[in-house]
Amino acid sequence: MTMRGDVLDGRAVALGVTGGIAVYKAAEVLRELTRRGAEVHVIMTASAQRFVTPLVFEALSHRPVIADMWEGTPQQRIEHIEMASRIDGLAVVPATANIIGKFANGIADDFLSTFYLAVQSPVVVAPAMNTAMLHHPAVRANLRTLSERGVVIVDPEVGELACETIGEGKLAVVEVVVEHIAVALTDPKDLAGVRVLVTAGPTEEPIDPVRVLTNRSSGKMGFAVARAAHRRGAEVTLVSGPVALEPPPGVGFVAVRTADEMLQACLKYLDESDVIIKTAAVSDFRPTAPEVQKIKRADRKASTVELQQNPDILHILSTRKGSRITIGFVAETEDVLANAAVKLKAKDADLMVVNDVSRPDIGFDHDDNQVTLCYADGRVEPHEKMDKLAVAHTILDAVVRLRGERPS
Ligand SMILES: Cc1cc2nc3c(=O)[nH]c(=O)nc-3n(C[C@H](O)[C@H](O)[C@H](O)COP(=O)(O)O)c2cc1C
């Protein structure tokens, strides 16, 4: 079985569902949590059950929903409260003004509010309500209290609300809610305050206004590194070539096209970075003189495209690296380790992540990868096949170790 790097995999999450119009979106959050391997226990307030029946959540979670403080045998009631000390996190989606007020003030008059007081793991609250309610000083004060207490608040978005107005108060999108839960559950935050610059994806070099020279990099590896670093507390800037992926929530995103644009972006963020992880598959070459007009089928120019070398970004960054940690990726199809050793020296990197892109089951555009880490001091560390988020965490483990080995 492939090792999975998602913190939600195998974790027990309690999902509190309260009585707001966005209640139907809690079902999507539940689906996403279970898709990522979490074991979800749903708790519904009485108001939530006026909107939808527990059946929806029972079917999706494959578990009974806790819908009433007094249901079940006395033993079951105690077990339900005891669950608060066993779960890895509590998420309330959507969170009404009412439950926010109860949490903030320690009121325990139903199962969810009582359960909250017994929870010892991270709590995430995703408010959804009309704009006037959200901005009411009572709600603002309650949210501030929860935030100061360490509860993670998923800021609602501006959008069309059920009361047919447009304003702030719409539940954040599912991916954002789930990512906040994943961040809250990630422990330790061993990259807290570390500024990480990640490059990802392919670059595109124009041949003419409609054609480009590019490669098959999907960006998945770099996006996984950015996501994992953010979850571990880093401040992340992700510079990416054209890919079909949404940037991970919470990560600063810079979209570029050509190798030159990628270099300029990296130089801009270099000063503000402690660690640079270059997963991008930068085109080594670019057409020397891209055509201004589209090359026609009959045009003889189409048969030859003259190329020139692109800047070697990792090398240029390495010459200005100072005390920063720089990590490169080597995607080779032959003599993989020997090539890595050469590149490690040539680019003065601290670590090269090596993968064999000739294998059909890993690397470019796959969800899995199998890498070997080659360190500047000659250490070679082979790893088993894992998904790209697990590879990302393996690389970040190495970053944490390398930072620890540095004289402070
Ligand atoms: C149609 C309808 C929609 C509602 N939508 C919201 C909402 O989006 N956000 C909110 O905070 N309260 C909303 N309420 C009010 C809550 O349902 C009410 O405050 C209730 O007491 C919340 O109970 P609970 O927090 O135990 O689920 C709505 C009420 C109704 C009737």
Provide the β-strand partners of residue 67: none
94: preceding bond cis by omega (within 30 degrees) = yes
Mean pLDDT for 38-56 is: 97
Q: Please check whether residues 61 and 206 belong to one and the same domain.
A: no
In a domain, 21, yes or no: yes
Give yes or no for a contact between 13 and 87, defined as CB atoms under 8 angstroms apart: yes
The pTM for the full model equals 0.91
In a domain, 22, yes or no: yes
Q: Is 97 in the pocket of ligand 1 (CB under 6 A)?
A: yes
In the reported structure, the alpha carbon of residue 140 is separated from the centroid of ligand 1 by a whole-number distance in angstroms of 17
In the predicted structure, residue 333 carries a pLDDT above the cut 70: no
Ligand 1 site, residue 99, Cβ cutoff 6 A: yes
Q: How far, in Å, is the centroid of ligand 1 from the Cα of 164? A: 16
Residue 301 is classified by DSSP as G
On whether both 286 and 367 belong to a single domain, the answer is yes
Number of domains in the chain: 2
Span between the terminal Cα atoms of the chain, in Å: 40
Lowest mean pLDDT among 15-29, 154-168, 294-308: 294-308
**Within a domain: 216:** yes
DSSP string, 133-186: HHHSHHHHHHHHHHHHTTPEE-PPEEEE-TTS-EEEEEPPPHHHHHHHHHHHH-
How many angstroms does the Cα of residue 192 sit away from the middle of ligand 1?
37
Give me the mean pLDDT over the 81-99 stretch.
96
Residues 6 or more apart in contact with residue 298 via CB below 8 angstroms: none
Higher pLDDT, 334 or 87: 87
pLDDT, position 342: 84
3-class state of residue 205 by DSSP? strand
Which ligand 1 atom lies nearest to the CA of residue 99?
Answer: 25
Dihedral sign, Cα of residue 317, residue 319, residue 322, residue 327: positive
At residue 363, the pLDDT reads 59
Give the DSSP H or E segment for 353: strand 351-356
50-56 LR contacts (CB < 8 Å, sep 24+): 50/19, 51/19, 51/20, 51/21, 51/23, 51/24, 52/23, 52/24, 52/27, 56/27
List the residue whose alpha carbon is closest to atom 13 of ligand 1.
Answer: 20
Q: Provide the residue range defining the domain that includes 217.
A: 195-405
The confidence score (pLDDT) of residue 114 equals 95
Evaluate whether residue 4 is within a structural domain.
no
**Residue 100, ligand 1, Cβ within 6 A:** no
Phi (first) and psi of residue 138, to 5 degrees: -65, -45
pLDDT score for 301: 62
Residues 334 and 356 in one domain: yes
Helices (H), 64-96: 74-86
**Phi-psi map region of 193: left, alpha, beta (phi>0 left; psi -120 to 50 alpha):** left
pLDDT recorded at residue 343: 84
Shared domain check, 158 and 24: yes
Chain mean pLDDT for the chain: 92
Question: Does residue 93 lie within any of the structural domains?
Answer: yes
CB 237 within 8 A of CB 254: yes
- pLDDT band with cut points at 50, 70 and 90 for residue 71: confident
352 in the same domain as 210: yes
Give yes or no for residue 19 CB within 6 A of ligand 1: yes
pLDDT of 161 strictly over 90: no
User: How far apart are alpha carbons 372 and 352 in whole angstroms?
Assistant: 8
Centre of ligand 1 to C-alpha 92, Å, is: 14
Q: What is the pLDDT of residue 203?
A: 97
Once rounded to an integer, what is the mean pLDDT over residues 72-85?
Answer: 87
For 358-373, the pLDDT digits (tens) are 676 665 667 888 899 9
What six digits make up the tokens of 364? 């470019």
Same domain, 343 and 224: yes
> Which CATH number characterizes residue 235's domain?
3.40.50.10300
Largest CA distance in the chain: 85
